[in-house]
Amino acid sequence: MDPKEPTILKDVLKKKGAKFGFWHKRLCKLTTNHLLIYKNENENDLDKVIEIVPTTVIECLNGEKPPRFVLHIAKQRPLTLYNDSPDVIASWVNEIRNITLQTPNMSMENFNIISVLGRGFYGKVMLVQKKGTNEFYAVKTVHKNRLVKAEKVHTIFTERNVLMKARHPFIVNLCFAFQNETKVYLGLEYAAGGELFYHLSNRGSFPIDEVRLYIAELALAINYLHVQRVIYRDLKPENVLLDQQGHVKLTDFGLSKTLSDFSNSTGTFCGTSEYIAPEIIARRPYGPEIDWWALGVLTYELLYGKTPFYNENKAKMFQSIRSDRPRFPRKADKDTISFISMLLEKDPSTRATFDQIKVHPFFKDLNFEDVLAKKYKPEFVPPDSTGIAGNFDTEFTMENPMDSLATPTPGDQNAFDGFSYIAGANELSESYSEGDEEDQPSILNPTEM
């Protein structure tokens, strides 16, 4: 680093030890591109130098006492720092986020818009091609003013942060993120096979051998998130994409929740009604077990074309979710009934875990390590739609493909500081690398959350 880099901040913070979690007093100095950590206040015993780059993720642990934040740096252990003053922590979070904004300029002017792929309240997803290349992306556009009015700014940061850290064959890759005065943009890997919901709507249901592979791949993705201390919270066919070979890609992390070091549960009522777990309806604190419940609902829907507790009356459906056992068609085999039933246990403490899922007879003839390595070829391969949107609903693809005008955001734009991001080439590798054994719990044999 350049010794002439000006100092932006300098404070005494406490750093969490990597091995035993003890807190150590350190002098921390933030320059225009680096964080320097000294073992004493004389600045003569340098402990660590961290370069702040666009891929650096800063996570503010709101509500923790004392106030703290976590720096996530590629191929390094997360770094947790605290200070008794919330104002000091806020200053550090804001300044580090501002440094991460130093990315090459990017805008929608860099892309040709090909088609609309989907739409929601906060914005839409479009298929784009980077000008002068053969690179295709799914760009998610989100209106800032709608996020601000709904007090949901944190959700777009959560989605970006989870995807920046997630590198898994069955989770969609985040390639870049940028913003303008009215919108934020997430540039995602384009999964040309379309939504699982689209294919389910066209086919009605799937053969059991196809479902087995889909559910095994999703179980690996969900377990990976849990190892990273993330609850997904929104599993449904609309949020499962297929790549061109027919493998799944989990997407849409706007409802995801990152658990802090000191909490294994959360309490927000959220999710899609037919997939909500009993403990959420009961408004009890809940944990990652809700994702396994949703996997059970999804398995049932893919096999039988409907969710197990559906009722047009939402109150009756919620009552059914809390009290009824799922009813199975007569043709259902005992392994399928057993598998779905153990995922749809009302009591989260007795609900199936990943260790139980991967050895269940439902997955006979499937080895999960081979599933992770994509050694099994999906029976259903979507029609080739590279560069076109052939596997998405015409309700959206028939729209005029354009980046629409948006209402300016009221008030301060600082809420979106630090959003922009461009992934390095090594971050977009298809394969998952466990790295240092001490840093990365095994995604096949996770530690407890």
Residues comprising the binding site?
Answer: 140
Q: Is 20 exposed, middle or buried (0-12, 13-18, 19+ CB in 10 A)?
A: exposed
Annotated binding site for ATP: 140
Break the chain down into helix, strand, coil percent, rounded to 5.
30, 20, 50
| Token code pair at residue 327 | 């009813």
* Cα radius of gyration (the chain): 23
Residue 234 designated active-site: yes
Residues with Cβ within 8 Å of 431's Cβ and at least 6 positions away in sequence, in order, are 169
Residue of 111, 112, 116, 92 lying closest to 26 (CA atoms) = 92
Report which residue type is found at 303.
L
CA angle 260, 266, 270 (to 5 degrees): 130
Name the phi and psi angles at 69, rounded to 5: -145, 160
What whole-number distance in Å separates Cα of residue 245 and Cα of residue 385?
11
From residue 109, alpha-carbon distances to 60, 105, 189 in Å are: 33, 10, 19
Catalytic residue among 209, 234, 436, 439: 234
Beta bridge partners of 80: 70
Residues designated as active site: 234
